Amino acid sequence: MSIHTEDVRFAGAKGDVIGGYLAVSLEREPVPGVVLIHEVFGLDAHIRGVARRFAEAGFCALAPDLYSREGVPGPQSTETDPDPIWELEAIRQAVCSFPDRRALGDIDGAAALLAARSEADGDRIAAVGFCMGGTLAFLSGCTSSRFAGVVEFYGRVLYPELSAAKPIQPLELALNLDCPLLAFFGELDEGIPSEDLDRMRTTLASAAKNFEIVCYPEARHGFFNDRRPNHDPQAAEDAWRRTLTFLREDL
């Protein structure tokens, strides 16, 4: 399938102009849109590749650069070093200090841009995110009316502690979720204990939400990223298949 890619600029939170990477399926009819929310590593080679995979599967994908203002708070992906190594402490500090509310404004702006594109169907837009982006995808489904579906890959549903950057627990907003949710986790993910997932299931089920939670017994955090050490090919392939089926059937 033919696709088109380009770097774009659009209005994010408070009207700030931010960047993004657009990958478009060149179908004749408007196709479903995907706002693709990156991991802590930023809009790197991996996320750009995932955007192209979505386009090749028949979607219009936009990956906003949530670090547009201040830059990546760690080693930046470059052509010569597309997957730089981050220290664990740098990852922790970057995630903890990242402002959720601003990010949600940027993500909403990305959805607005997709809705305005002739290639995308503005009534069929999903939020798909990984790690930090997975949490933001879930929060977007709970706070924005622009999304018809959410796919969350191993995002925290409960933060270790709250702060000005993280003022509310994601799960506290679950009652506001107004679209179908598909969520993936690895049972060996040390940062997301099974107790948190049990609470997520109970909360969503008690509120009669449309959701599915998939846990892979041998998978660790970040299992979908084929450029990182925790990549699990079998789990990643199954999650990708489930994601495409979900987006095609539920959007």
Active site residues: 131, 189, 221
What residues contact residue 141 under an 8 Å CB cut-off, 6+ apart? 127, 147, 149, 150, 177, 178, 179, 181
Number of Cβ within a 10 Å radius of residue 157: 23
Which tokens go with 175? Answer: 């009652």
Residue 230 CA from chain centroid, whole number: 18
Which tokens go with 182? Answer: 């598909």
**DSSP H stretches of helix in the chain:** 45-56, 88-97, 100-116, 132-143, 194-206, 233-250
